[in-house]
Amino acid sequence: MEKNIAVIRGDGIGPEIVEQALRVLDKVAEVFGHTFNYTDVDMGGCAIDKWGDPLPQEMLERCVNSDSVLLGAVGGNKWNDVPGDKRPEKGLLRLRAGMGVYSNNRPAKIWPQLADASPLKKSVVDKGIDFIIVRELIGGIYFGEHKTETVDGKPTAIDVLKYSEDEIERIGRIGFETARKRGKRLCSVEKSNVLDSSRLWKKVMHALAEEYPDVELSDMLVDNCAMQIVKDPSQFDVVVTENMFGDILSDEASMITGSIGMIPSSSLGAGTCGLYEPIHGSAPDIAGMDIANPIGTILSAAMMLRFSFDMPEEADAVENAVSAYLDAGYRTADIMSEGMTQVGCKKCGELIIANIGKE
Ligand code: NAD
C-alpha cells in the first residue's frame, strides 16, 4: 500500500522523537512492502519564526490532503509572549478544527515491564491494564453557551450541556469500530440517572449496538467508572464517553500507567485521516539532549497503522518491538530504574527498529 503522511516535527523534543517514529515507519514499509511518503508541515513555534503564523493555511491544507498526520509536540517558553491568537498551541486547535477530528482516542496500557511506575497496587496492576478511552472532542458542555448573569441580585454562572443525536451517533460509531478492532467490548459511560443528554446518549448507543452484533455493549455511570478505573482497570477494553467525562477519565487513565513519555493518542473525524501524537508536550527542558523517550510517538505511529491504514499486523509488529525492547532491559532516562541499561532517544529508536520483522 502507498500512504501519504503529513509530518509535523514541531518544537522542543518534537523533531527528535518524530525522527525515530519515521525510522520505525520506514522499517515497517520495508518489512511489509509498503510505501510511506512524508510531507513536512511547519506548525507551532517554528512556524511562527518562519511564517509569523502557528499554522499557515497552506500547511493546514497539506494535513487535510494527506492520508494521516503525525505530530511531535509544539510550544515552548520562547513564544510565551506572542499574542493569544498567534501562540503555538493555537496552531494545534486550528489543526484539529480544520481536520474535523471529533474523536480523541487515548490508550491506557501498562507495560508489564514498567509495572512499578504505576501508582496502583501490584495486585491490581498484575491483572493487566490495556484499554482505550474514546472521547467526544468538539461538543458537549465545553462547546455550549457559557455566561454569568445576575439572578436575584447574585452572580449566577450557566454552562450549557447539549448533544444532538447525530453528534452522539458519530462518536458512538468510532467507539464500536474501535472495539471491533480490539477485544470487541465497549463500555458506554454517562450519567443517565441525572442528565437528559446522558439518557439520549444511552439510547443512541443501544440503537447503534444493533448494527454491531459482534461487539458487546455495557453501560456505566461516570462516577462508578472513575472508581472502577482505579479498582479494576483490567475490566475495560474500549470506553466511549462525552467530552467533559472523557477529559477527566482519560487523565485519570494515563496516570495509572506510569510514564508520560510512553502514551500515544489519535484524533479521528468522519474519514480515515487522523491526527496522531504523543500525549506529552514539547519538553523544552530536555530538548536537543538526545534523552527524550520517543516511544509515545512511535506508538502513535502504530495507532496510525491500525486505525487509519487498516494495517493491524504492522501495528502489532511495532508494539511487539517496543515490548521486546523493554524486555531486553533498555530504558530512556524518564523510566530508568535499577539494573536497566540507559539509552538515549536515537539509540532507543534503533533498538526498537531492530526488533521489527524479527518474529
Ligand atoms: P511536557 O509534557 O512538555 O513536559 C512535562 C515533563 O515531562 C517535563 O519534565 C519533560 O521533560 C517530561 N517529558 C515530556 N515528554 C517526555 C518524553 N517524551 N521523554 C522524557 N521526558 C518527557 O509539559 P510542559 O512542560 O507543561 O509543557 C512544555 C510545552 O509543551 C509548553 O509550551 C506546552 O504548552 C506545550 N504542550 C504541547 C502539547 C502538544 O503539542 N500537544 C501538549 C502539552 C503541552
45 lines ligand 1 (CB under 6 A): no
pLDDT, tens only, 267-313: 999 889 999 999 899 999 999 999 999 999 999 999 999 989 999 99
Residue nearest to atom 7 of ligand 1 (CA): 283
281 lines ligand 1 (CB under 6 A): yes
Max Cα separation, the chain?
Answer: 71
| Mean pLDDT value across residues 94-104 | 91
217: nearest Cα among 195, 238, 232, 234: 238
| Mean pLDDT value across residues 321-346 | 95
pLDDT, tens only, 15-31: 999 999 999 999 999 99
Quick check: 39 and 62 in contact, CB under 8 A? yes
Ligand 1 geometric centre to CA of 290 (Å): 15
Report residue 354 as a C-alpha cell.
Answer: 531492530
Instruction: Write down the pLDDT at residue 42.
Output: 98
- Worst-scoring range by mean pLDDT, 79-88, 146-155, 182-191, 332-341? 79-88
Ligand 1 geometric centre to CA of 297 (Å): 13
95 lines ligand 1 (CB under 6 A): no
- pLDDT beyond 80 at 259: no
Quick check: 11 and 73 in contact, CB under 8 A? yes
CA 13 to ligand 1: nearest atom: 18
Instruction: Write down the pLDDT at residue 116.
Output: 85
Count of C-beta atoms within a 10 Å radius of residue 248: 14
Burial class of 199 by CB neighbour count within 10 A (0 to 12, 13 to 18, 19+): middle
- pLDDT beyond 80 at 208: yes
75 lines ligand 1 (CB under 6 A): yes
Q: How much of the chain, in percent, has pLDDT values that exceed 90?
A: 84
DSSP, collapsed to helix, strand or coil, labels residue 178 as helix
344: nearest Cα among 302, 301, 286: 286
Instruction: Write down the pLDDT at residue 359.
Output: 67
Instruction: Write down the pLDDT at residue 355.
Output: 98
More confident call, 174 vs 90: 174
Ligand 1 geometric centre to CA of 12 (Å): 9
Instruction: Write down the pLDDT at residue 60.
Output: 97
Can you list the alpha helix ranges (DSSP code H) found in the chain? 14-32, 45-51, 57-64, 88-99, 122-125, 165-180, 196-209, 222-231, 243-255, 295-303, 312-327, 345-354
Q: Cα–Cα distances in Å, from 258 out to 74, 111, 196? A: 22, 9, 36
DSSP 48-79: HHHHSSSS-HHHHHHHHTSSEEEEEE---GGG
Burial class of 114 by CB neighbour count within 10 A (0 to 12, 13 to 18, 19+): middle
Q: Cα–Cα distances in Å, from 9 out to 44, 99, 260, 278, 306? A: 9, 18, 18, 12, 21
Helices then strands (H, E): number in the chain?
A: 12, 14
56: nearest Cα among 94, 82, 84, 13: 94
pLDDT, tens only, 104-154: 999 999 888 998 888 999 999 999 999 999 999 888 998 889 899 999 999
- The single-letter DSSP state of residue 274 is E
292 lines ligand 1 (CB under 6 A): yes
Given the C-alpha cell 530512556, which residue does it identify?
332
CA 75 to ligand 1: nearest atom: 32
Q: How much of the chain, in percent, has pLDDT values that exceed 70?
A: 100
Phi, psi of 198 (to 5 degrees): -75, -35
